[in-house]
Structure 1
Amino acid sequence: MGTSASGSAAGAARSARAAGSAGAAGSAGAARRPTIAAVAQAAGVSVSAVSHVFNGRTNISPETARRIREAADALNWRPNLAGRRVSRSSGGAVGNSIGLVVTQSEESFRRDPFFIRLIAGLTGPLARVGWSLSLTVVPPDEEAQVYRQWWTEQRVDGFLLVDLRTKDPRIPLLRSLSATAVALGPTPVTSAVPGVTLDDESGLAELLDHLAGLGHRRIARVTSAPGLAHSRRRNQVLSAAARRRDMSVRSLAWDEEASDPVAALLGARGDVTALVLDSEALATQVVAHAPEIGVRVPVDLSVLSWEDSWVSELVRPRLTALSAPVEESARTAVDLLHRMVRGESAASVVVPGRRLVVRESTAQARRS
């Protein structure tokens, strides 16, 4: 072996860059993906040694395996077994697993009905194409490493991105890895990551017309995650639609760190007569706790949720909410990923948006 263990990281990186440059120059217009031979050269080993490491065999020493993985990581290389899957698949399914990396806290994840619906919605479409779901919940500072590791070690064939952020760092990361991904939400046109977005115009119109018909003119949208891309978009779209109806919309933050988040929110609402909260998990907390601090729902305050699920039926009064087609979005995302793994082109898709489900948490606006 030509590369010593002590100099493996630097040597692998230098060799990787050289191999990557050579490979890129040799194929104009083709996908510039490094080969297993380039990894072997960078690590100073044989091609079979690289194959053994990434196939999980134990006949390679830990030190050599580490050097091979360092070289593969420097090259952003991942074994491509799609062709072999096609050849041995009688049904035409070519994938194995999609990755879903969630950066909520474990407590928040357990309480979020959206992910229950999303995972349930993914089950059928994944089974039909012969795929499974690889799911992990990690702190934000570990997120990038999970994407790199899962892709370079061939744990997944593609990623499903959720909770897109403004200038989301995952987009350039996945581009640098040449990783396949689909997002639930709008993505930049230049990102090469197609998105599955909701046409929310009709749902918003229903929500505002419902509140206007009840005499509400001053409403507030409450978010617990202002850094997410969809939060900014919701604020913009809701405010513009409200102005056309001679209504005003305030933006309020849900303070999870407050000793009593509901009391803090209600104390900051001013003359607002209706709240539209990001999720049913937040809205049910308001409905359940507001009477204890002297605010009656819906007599004093109407409460609505931007999301809907079985949770909306648990409280009294039951929640008026916007029901989203989570299952259809999941099916569409799996279809896009499946086509991309097969080498087909895939563009962003807009699915029918939310619809308003009116229950008892909204009523006539109380006059001062």
Structure 2
Amino acid sequence: MEFMNIIKIVVSIIFLIWAVYDYIKIVKHKYTSKKAIITSITIKLLIATIVVLVPTTSHTKNIVANYGNEEKNEDESLEAQVEQVEENEDESLEEVEEQQVENESIEEQGQQSGETTNEDEASEEEQEQQVGETTREDESLEQQQQQVEQPPQQQQQIEQPQQEVSQNTNIHKNSINGIEYKLLNQADPQWKDVKYPTRSGTIGKVGCMITTVAVVSSAYDQTMTPKKVMDAGYQHSYPSDSVPHFSSKNFTCTMSTSPNKSTIISNLKQGNPVIIMVKGGSAFTTSQHYMALIDIKSDESQVFVGNAYDSGTGTYNRTGWFDTGTVLYDMREMHICVPSQNLINKY
């Protein structure tokens, strides 16, 4: 054991004994200030611990020396690897040159033998061409007949995707400023099974927020989809942050966690879409859910709900005009989005 380690242990023991002595004074009530004695004990215990933990100079030197040896060994291994690679390259080049010489000799022999057989092959090819010309005429006639029958099938293949798009995508035109919104559905087969990159679940299961962002942003970009919102990395951003990004700042959005019914109605009457988040158990969902409000009746009796999840099969999966009081019954958030004059002029 080194001399410095012995000194460290002795000093640590002294401070520990000193701390125990102070503790005995506390037990026997031989103190002037209990707080001061406790502080003194704490300091002594800390000093004893630090003395034991601080490494000696020789130990530090050993660490530095070991680190230097490791770097030296790494450099030597790298040099050996480089030398081995260079040797392998030289050997491979020699093998390639030898192979090229062999190939050239084989080609010369092949050319000499090929000249004698070219004449026979030429005569055979002429005969095959004559036979082939007679069969091509028959094949061309068959192809013409098939082409006459194919157009109806091709027309069906072209019309089918168009029908799917018209079934899955609807447009709602705002009655106040004429802005058009796509009524996107998070359960659309085009993206419902796309998985979130940073959480469990798919767009079809938990993608109501990004689908709602896509609905409002579609006023500027009709090609907007919830998958585009996800691919851009905005799957966890608030709608008030996402919509301006995807609409090229043609919306100015503000967020509030204290939704106000009169504020929402006032903005809808100005043609401003409002994204709300409702609690579970409301008229539209069994769990918290984002949806876009994109229109309102002149008498304020109904608002148009762009419900992001609308499969058309369940009580909670609905899109369209609904009673204002029912829609605004139980909310947690509201995101008001004001369109720019340039966007309004576009329509």
TM norm structure 2? 0.21
For CA contacts below 8 A with separation 6 or more, give which structure has more relative contact order: 1
TM norm structure 1? 0.20
